[in-house]
Copies of this chain bind each other. A is one copy, B any other.
């Protein structure tokens, strides 16, 4: 491994410059005006993979944004690692809250990143993380130490639900065949407390529209006489949780697997300081489901959050309007064994049921995703454990993550292999928020850890 480390050390400046180049491409999948940027990002990745040494790298068009696929097959008898990542990023808005422009990366020190962090949309989620794999591959390949076959599938629709990836996987199942899927799109507990994500919550996401009167009205002339759709939507949303912050959607908890005492103890054994957590977020009190700890609430319990809401007059000053319509985007994080389609259906049914007759309600499903739990007694997981232990000098802790990578459950089904979620970010890296950043320590530590994984996995698989 010394040669690999040596190669990394000699090229680390270039690796970073390349990443900054990629971060300058505003590949926001949710926005039609960035369609061309999506293609530019895909082409950039294709080129970079070729420079890194893959046998082939192709851009696959889909009905949405393209998928970049690359591979290097050294020996059919060796195990194959499929690296999944995504080059699309979340919208950067609200722009005014960024300290520097989201697509003009700058490096600044922070309390948790004394060695500097790259501030840019997508730096941690997921450009900075998938790119570590391309660079780790380059280092292994350049030093003739690639111990496994490698395949890269880097998609452009993760942040908008991976709508076209299922078809791509099904149509290209043979090309994508592998022994393990390796993903870096999650976090470690701290830079000195390595951890591996062993579960992800699923997702159901809907948009609701409530219509009262057929047009905006003067609130003096009509106020008090007809339903105000904002007031009604507030009442409907408020009623979705009870006093214990339990979700009231009929049937919502029916399939939720309750952890037993031992499992709950394990979940709660991860280092966590509630005071620090509250300080970091500047809140005087946490709020969540009665009877569960904050770690449980954010990982092993389902949630319901309004992600956005709007209606009526939202400009400067006062306007006395009784609006015609109110809207909300509502998402639910799901845990094993909740099914996102079923939950979306239960929500829709419930929401229509609780609507008063004085309004009309529409529920439009957005994308969803199945929850995932990864086993820890497999060579795939053990290889990650050993790799992190060597790179960090400390045993990594298995933790259940709260976020969702909706496509993981699908991969496992279509490709019939398990996933390893070996991410390197920090929860405090502000992914999806203004001032997203990714530590230089984390970027380079990832590039160092990945070759260890390849080596361990090859050894464990081949005995």
A331 interface residue (CB < 8 Å to B): yes
Chain multiplicity (copies): 2
Q: Which of A211-226 contact B (CB under 8 A)?
A: 212-226
Tell which of A201, A307, A314, A359 has the most Cβ of chain B within 10 Å.
A307
Contact B297 A323, beta carbon cutoff 8 Å: no
With both beta carbons as reference points, the residue of chain B lying nearest to A160 in the complex is identified as B317
Indicate if the CB atoms of B90 and A319 lie closer than 8 Å.
Answer: yes
In angstroms, Cα B221 to Cα A435, docked, is 16
- A212 contacts across to B, CB distance below 8 A: 283
8 A Cβ contacts from A171-217 to B: 187, 201, 203, 205, 207, 212-217
A318 adjacent to B307 (CB under 8 Å): yes
Of the candidates B201, B225, B306, B360, which one forms a contact with A220 in the assembled complex, judged by CB atoms under 8 Å apart? B201
Q: How far is the CA of A302 from the CA of B241 in the complex (A)?
A: 29
Whether A220 touches B401, Cβ cut-off 8 Å, given contacts A238-B238, A321-B432, A432-B321, is: yes
**List of B residues within 8 angstroms of A286 by Cβ:** 225-227, 358
Among A41-49, A69-77, A228-236, A386-394, the stretch in contact with B: A228-236
Q: Which residues of B contact A187 (CB under 8 A)?
A: 221
A224 and B319 contacting across the interface, CB-CB below 8 Å: no
A contact residues, total (Cβ < 8 Å): 103
Q: Which of B97, B161, B223 contacts A216 (CB 8 A)?
A: B97
Assembled-state Cα–Cα distance A320/B125 (Å) = 13
Distance A9 CA – B109 CA, assembled complex (angstroms): 78
Question: A240's closest neighbor in chain B, by CB?
Answer: B231
A14–B157 Cα gap in the complex (Å)? 61
Interface presence of A348 (CB below 8 A) = no
Closest to A281 in B: B213
Q: Is A326 an interface residue (CB 8 A)?
A: yes
Residue of B216, B333, B404 near A433 (CB, 8 A) is B216
Q: B residues within 8 A CB of A282? A: 213-214
- Residues of chain B within 8 A (CB-CB) of A326 are 309
Docked CA distance A239–B97 (Å): 31
- Closest approach, in angstroms, between the C-beta of A111 and any C-beta of chain B? 14
The residue from B231, B277, B285, B308 contacting A319, defined by CB atoms under 8 A apart: B308
Q: List 15 A-B contacts (CB under 8 A).
A: A30-B319, A31-B316, A215-B430, A215-B435, A218-B433, A219-B307, A225-B288, A230-B308, A232-B287, A307-B312, A307-B319, A308-B315, A308-B321, A310-B314, A313-B329
